Chain A
Amino acid sequence: MAQGSFAESGADLELVGITKRFPGFTAIEDLNLTIPAGSFFALLGPSGCGKTTTLRLVAGLDEATAGRILIGGDDVTATKPHQRPVNTVFQSYALFPHMSVLENVAFGLKRRRIADATARAHEALRLVELDHLAQRRPQQLSGGQQQRVALARAVVNRPALLLLDEPLGALDLKLRRQMQIELKSIQQDVGLTFLHVTHDQEEAMTMADTVAVMNKGRIEQMGAPEELYELPKTAFVANFLGQSNLFTGGVTSSTASSIVVDIAGRRIEIPRERAQRHAGEVTVGVRPEKLMLHTAAPEAGPGINVVGPGRVVDVSFSGVSTQYQVAVPGLGSLVVFAQNMVFGPVVSVGAEVWLTWNTDHGFGLADDPADSPRFAADTDTQALALQRRQTLEAELEGV
């Protein structure tokens, strides 16, 4: 990147066929991803799903086994970290302990010989409201303050792409909420492209424009937070992003607008465009807050799915809503969130209840909850030995 100048604005990030193998396992398998300039993109997934590895590949801290990385259209796959227009807010912050807060923030500017680095560093510290601590050492600050210094140290460089590696993980809930809002406003103010890696689904949904749910080195589903939540396409997404009630059964009839699935003798109707598969065994689901509790058998009608009778086995009160566990014979345990419109729970443990939901609220998945892993980990020694032999043979042939 050019010395002495800033990136004009955020840049597109494009990952083409990225694969990363470590000795013994595959962290990322053939990942294709395009993040448009100026967006706040979240990579969401459980630990070990490959999201941090993806981030390290983009930062240049690790090398991809195969594939290309493009930032703003330029291929940066073969470049070193210091040559990329990218800055990272590390999970551990990695603030230099032998420098003051100000020196930490000015570090990147000075390496790029940007004019009045110190003044710009002060400005960035004012943005995170820490200018009064500029002369302190990082280890004299609290965790939240260190996190803000780490953010200032990255943002001050106006990188085309800002990478955030679970930077809010060490903060308590209240501070995390506050930082989420601050991060989002900084992103909107400076117009950078943010790539945020997190395992916290709430964080990803509140902050990001686009969320990609990652599992076992692949992206399961990508889209706006509402879209991912309302219309999950796989069992993993349905369960990782919020909670879901899932049932599996065969399709008994289908019309132009909907399909009907038989689950333990009950008819469950799903809109055709909300189902990924339309024949054979299909897994369908509904979110807990879409379910309605009834103490008397409701009338079955068009546009309504009815399940019951079942028995309430657990009630837990959480303030805004009450969570009920309802055991329905043949279906297992269902979760219901009911808003607290009256004081206290509406029904108590042991009550006989029926559940209904609008057919438009259901969704049909592309896979089954019990689906096997997407690819087997090549951990056995035989596979490793074979891999070694093949690379050696390839080398010998090259000679």
Chain B
Amino acid sequence: MAFGAFGATVTATPAEPAIRRRSRVALFLLLPGILYLALFFLAPLLSLVITSFQAPVEFGDIGQYQTAFRWENYTTVIGTYAPHILRSFAFAATATVAALLFGFPLAYFIGVTLRRFPLLQALALTLVIAPFFISFLLRTLAWKQLLSDEGWFVSALHGLQLLPPGEHVTGTAFSVVFGLTYNFIPFMTLPIYTSLERLDLRYVEAGGDLYATPVSTFFRVTVPLAAPGIVSGALLTFIPAAGDYINASRDFLGGTETAMIGNVIEANFLVLQNYPAAAALSLVLMVAVLVPVSVYVLRSGTDDLL
């Protein structure tokens, strides 16, 4: 140990200028990215913050606002749309758990079971990605058709007396969560696959050798070793799902009672032209997603995540 420390101090002194030079090169290489983010992320964000405090122009047309500091915009939107915010989080969380329940076994099958058959493995991965070749709008519309009152699924449910007469599938919380889950399964599966594909099965053997049942080995060895993939997959699913406005839209799988925060923002921006309310809601959503996600990332340990 003392030897290593000694070696480090010796090499550190002459290496310092090199490190400084290297960091300048790194900064130069990062410049395009930093400029891009400043222009297309920070500037709109600033504009969004300014808009969120605007007040309507007195005696002006609908959609005419002026710069102000109307923080009541925030209390108003939170007061009015709290149920939508909560619903968004509930739907997104349910969809994330459901996508994990579908995605993990799928990722395990492709990454571990198919390991000995590289050709089948590549084929299975292609099948997971295949839906991306068709626009998700079209696919979600297709599900609307399949789940519609005239579709065979609903007819079958009615026929089997599982669905009371007059009840629908589309426009319910179920169909919205179903749509979210369906759309995000690949985003959940791929990161978990990357983790499981590298999983050293000798750890699993060691678990069995140390008296752990297969179930115990799964939860104490396999799942923790796949944690980086599970965390990435959960983030890639939860964050976009919380802000999604397609699945919950009435034109797709949603109804009036299933509107999520994304639908409200869309309506305020495009229909009601209440720009300050829409901007305030967007920022509320951003903070509301950032806080739990930060806690989650910190708790699960970032060292292996990035």
Partner of A111, one of B200, B205, B216, B227: B216
Q: Which of B186-204 contact A (CB under 8 A)?
A: 200, 202-203
Tell whether A157 pairs with B205 under 8 Å between CB atoms, given A98-B225, A111-B216. Answer: no
Tell whether A94 pairs with B206 under 8 Å between CB atoms, given A82-B211, A82-B212, A82-B213. Answer: yes
In the bound complex, CA of A96 to CA of B212 (Å): 13
Query: Are B202 and A87 interface neighbours, CB within 8 A?
Result: no
In the bound complex, CA of A80 to CA of B78 (Å): 57
Query: Are B225 and A87 interface neighbours, CB within 8 A?
Result: no
Query: Are A90 and B206 interface neighbours, CB within 8 A?
Result: yes
Query: Are B211 and A157 interface neighbours, CB within 8 A?
Result: yes
Q: How many residues of B contact A (CB 8 A)?
A: 20
Determine the chain B residues whose CB is within 8 A of the CB of A348 once the complex forms: none
Determine the chain A residues whose CB is within 8 A of the CB of B211 once the complex forms: 1, 82, 108, 111-112, 157
Determine the chain A residues whose CB is within 8 A of the CB of B58 once the complex forms: none
Query: Are A61 and B210 interface neighbours, CB within 8 A?
Result: no
Question: How would residues 56 to 89 of chain A score, 1 for a CB under 8 Å from any chain B CB and 0 otherwise?
Answer: 0001110000000000000000001110001110
Q: Which residue of B lies closest to A3 (CB)?
A: B211
Nearest Cβ distance between residue A22 and chain B, in whole angstroms? 13
Nearest Cβ distance between residue A165 and chain B, in whole angstroms? 11
Q: Which residue of B lies closest to A113 (CB)?
A: B211
Question: How would residues 202 to 227 of chain B score, 1 for a CB under 8 Å from any chain A CB and 0 otherwise?
Answer: 11011111111110110011001101
Q: Which of A1-16 contact B (CB under 8 A)?
A: 1
Partner of B206, one of A60, A86, A96: A96
Nearest Cβ distance between residue A362 and chain B, in whole angstroms? 46
Q: Which residue of B lies closest to A80 (CB)?
A: B208
Q: Which of A82-110 contact B (CB under 8 A)?
A: 82, 86-88, 90, 92, 94-98, 107-108
Query: Are A94 and B205 interface neighbours, CB within 8 A?
Result: yes
Query: Are A157 and B208 interface neighbours, CB within 8 A?
Result: no
Q: Which of B114-166 contact A (CB under 8 A)?
A: none
Partner of B202, one of A86, A90, A112: A90
Tell whether A157 pairs with B210 under 8 Å between CB atoms, given A98-B224, A98-B225, A111-B216. Answer: yes
Nearest Cβ distance between residue A33 and chain B, in whole angstroms? 20
Determine the chain A residues whose CB is within 8 A of the CB of B207 once the complex forms: 82, 96, 107
Secondary structure type dominating chain A contacts:
loop
Tell whether A61 pairs with B205 under 8 Å between CB atoms, given A111-B211, A111-B212, A153-B210. Answer: yes
Nearest Cβ distance between residue B208 and chain A, in whole angstroms? 4
Partner of B209, one of A1, A59, A95, A112: A59
In the bound complex, CA of A108 to CA of B210 (Å): 5
In the bound complex, CA of A59 to CA of B216 (Å): 18
Determine the chain A residues whose CB is within 8 A of the CB of B225 once the complex forms: 97-98
Query: Are B221 and A94 interface neighbours, CB within 8 A?
Result: no
Q: Which residue of A lies closest to B209 (CB)?
A: A88
Tell whether A107 pairs with B210 under 8 Å between CB atoms, given A90-B202, A92-B202, A94-B203. Answer: yes
> Which of B203, B211, B225 counts the most chain A CB atoms within 10 A?
B211
Query: Are B212 and A94 interface neighbours, CB within 8 A?
Result: no
Determine the chain A residues whose CB is within 8 A of the CB of B212 once the complex forms: 82, 107, 111
Determine the chain A residues whose CB is within 8 A of the CB of B205 once the complex forms: 61, 81, 90, 94
Determine the chain B residues whose CB is within 8 A of the CB of A108 once the complex forms: 210-211
Determine the chain B residues whose CB is within 8 A of the CB of A80 once the complex forms: 208, 214
In the bound complex, CA of A88 to CA of B207 (Å): 11
Determine the chain B residues whose CB is within 8 A of the CB of A112 once the complex forms: 211
In the bound complex, CA of A98 to CA of B221 (Å): 8
Nearest Cβ distance between residue A101 and chain B, in whole angstroms? 14
Determine the chain A residues whose CB is within 8 A of the CB of B217 once the complex forms: 82
Determine the chain A residues whose CB is within 8 A of the CB of B213 once the complex forms: 82, 111
Determine the chain B residues whose CB is within 8 A of the CB of A88 once the complex forms: 206, 209
Query: Are B208 and A111 interface neighbours, CB within 8 A?
Result: no
Determine the chain B residues whose CB is within 8 A of the CB of A81 once the complex forms: 205, 208-209
Nearest Cβ distance between residue A326 and chain B, in whole angstroms? 47
In the bound complex, CA of A1 to CA of B217 (Å): 17
Q: Which residue of A lies closest to B301 (CB)?
A: A98
Query: Are B208 and A86 interface neighbours, CB within 8 A?
Result: no
In the bound complex, CA of A157 to CA of B205 (Å): 16
In the bound complex, CA of A107 to CA of B217 (Å): 11
Nearest Cβ distance between residue B51 and chain A, in whole angstroms? 46
Q: Which residue of A lies closest to B212 (CB)?
A: A111
Nearest Cβ distance between residue A90 and chain B, in whole angstroms? 6
Nearest Cβ distance between residue B199 and chain A, in whole angstroms? 11
Q: Which of A125-175 contact B (CB under 8 A)?
A: 153, 157
Query: Are A82 and B208 interface neighbours, CB within 8 A?
Result: yes
Determine the chain A residues whose CB is within 8 A of the CB of B220 once the complex forms: 107
Determine the chain B residues whose CB is within 8 A of the CB of A111 once the complex forms: 210-213, 216
In the bound complex, CA of A107 to CA of B214 (Å): 14
Partner of A60, one of B208, B216, B224: B208
Determine the chain B residues whose CB is within 8 A of the CB of A107 once the complex forms: 207, 210, 212, 220
Determine the chain A residues whose CB is within 8 A of the CB of B202 once the complex forms: 90, 92, 94
Q: Which residue of A lies closest to B206 (CB)?
A: A94
Determine the chain A residues whose CB is within 8 A of the CB of B206 once the complex forms: 88, 90, 94-96
Q: Which residue of B lies closest to A86 (CB)?
A: B209
Q: Which residue of B lies closest to A150 (CB)?
A: B206
Nearest Cβ distance between residue A249 and chain B, in whole angstroms? 50
Determine the chain B residues whose CB is within 8 A of the CB of A157 once the complex forms: 210-211
Q: Which residue of A lies closest to B221 (CB)?
A: A96
Q: Which residue of A lies closest to B223 (CB)?
A: A98
In the bound complex, CA of A81 to CA of B48 (Å): 60
Query: Are A96 and B203 interface neighbours, CB within 8 A?
Result: yes
Nearest Cβ distance between residue A153 and chain B, in whole angstroms? 7
Determine the chain B residues whose CB is within 8 A of the CB of A60 once the complex forms: 208-209
Determine the chain B residues whose CB is within 8 A of the CB of A94 once the complex forms: 200, 202-203, 205-206
Nearest Cβ distance between residue A56 and chain B, in whole angstroms? 9
In the bound complex, CA of A82 to CA of B218 (Å): 13
7 new A-B contacts at CB < 8 Å, known A60-B209, A82-B210: A80-B208, A81-B205, A82-B213, A86-B209, A87-B210, A107-B212, A157-B211
Q: Which residues of B contact A (CB under 8 A)?
A: 200, 202-203, 205-214, 216-217, 220-221, 224-225, 227
Ranked nearest first, the 10 interchain pairs of A and B with the lowest CB-CB distance are: A81-B208, A108-B210, A94-B206, A111-B211, A94-B202, A98-B224, A111-B212, A88-B209, A82-B211, A112-B211
Q: Which residues of A contact B (CB under 8 A)?
A: 1, 59-61, 80-82, 86-88, 90, 92, 94-98, 107-108, 111-112, 153, 157
